């Protein structure tokens, strides 16, 4: 595995934006892992969110980009796994804050909702903004170890 591989995954409703963002990542010199889908045939977005979680877990990728029609379903799917912090972003400010405050390792977009220029810029910011740490680190640690529901007060 290279040091920093960026995985991309989408359902059928996110292919055009996934392809454009993969091209952008390659243009910027990043190693890219495309987890599909590859055709316009209808697929189920959870399967692709789960693929992203698997790629991060087994070390094939260090960060990721998810796309579906809204970005909602595929980010929910990936976030079922404690090691995934997928942030659905519609603007550049969210892309910055999800890195600074949440140490997001995946950015998600809705192809039906965001323009390509905003998505490209948000991706740049996501990739270049460091985690702010400090008080945010304690909160991010808690995300990785949620209590069982009955003990939540
Ligand atoms: C597919 O039609 C659509 O439901 C999906 O891409 C996504 O928007 C779900 O959250």
Give the span between the Cα atoms of 114 and 42, in whole angstroms.
Answer: 21
Ligand 1 atom nearest residue 11's Cα: 6
| Arithmetic mean of pLDDT over the chain | 96
Please give the distance, rounded to the nearest whole angstrom, from the Cα atom of residue 69 to the centre of ligand 1. 5
Question: Is the pLDDT score of 34 beyond 80?
Answer: yes
> What confidence tier does 25 reach under pLDDT thresholds 50, 70, 90?
very high
Residue 147 has pLDDT above 70, yes or no: yes
Q: Give residue-wise pLDDT tens across range 48-64.
A: 999 999 999 999 999 99
> What is the 3-class SS of 37-66, one letter each residue?
CCCCCCCCHHHHHHHHHHHHHCCCCCEEEE
Residues 6 or more apart whose CB falls under 8 angstroms from that of 14 comprise: 66, 67, 68, 69, 71, 74, 109, 110, 111
- Supply the pLDDT for residue 30: 98
Class of residue 27 by CB neighbours under 10 A (exposed 0-12, middle 13-18, buried 19+): exposed
Res 1: pLDDT: 36
Ligand 1 pocket check: which of 46, 70, 114 to mutate, most ligand atoms within 8 Å of Cβ? 70
| 152 confidence band (pLDDT: 50, 70, 90) | confident
Cβ of 73 closer than 6 Å to ligand 1, yes or no, is yes
Residue 114 · residue 95 · CB < 8 Å: no
pLDDT of residue 106: 99
Percent of the chain with pLDDT over 90: 94
- Cα 62 to Cα 150: distance, rounded to the nearest angstrom: 33
pTM (2 d.p.): 0.96
**Which domains, from first to last, does the chain contain?**
5-143 (3.40.1400.10)
Please report which confidence band the pLDDT of residue 151 belongs to, taking 50, 70 and 90 as the band edges: confident
- Tell me what pLDDT residue 153 has: 73
Known catalytic residue: 98?
A: no
């Amino acid at each position: 595995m290279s040091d920093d591989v960026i995985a991309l995954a989408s359902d059928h409703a996110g292919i055009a934006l996934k392809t454009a963002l993969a091209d952008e990542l390659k243009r910027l010199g990043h190693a890219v892992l495309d987890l599909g889908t590859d055709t316009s045939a209808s697929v189920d977005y959870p399967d692709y969110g789960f693929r992203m979680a698997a790629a991060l877990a087994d070390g094939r990728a260090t960060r990721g980009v998810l796309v579906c029609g809204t970005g909602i379903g595929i980010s929910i799917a990936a976030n079922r796994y404690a090691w995934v912090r997928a942030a659905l972003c519609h603007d550049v400010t969210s892309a910055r804050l999800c890195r600074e405050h949440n140490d997001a390792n995946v950015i998600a977009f809705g192809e039906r909702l965001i323009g390509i220029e905003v998505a490209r810029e948000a991706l740049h910011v996501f990739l270049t903004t460091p985690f702010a740490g400090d008080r945010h680190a304690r909160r991010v640690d808690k995300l990785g170890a949620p209590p069982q529901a009955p003990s939540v007060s």
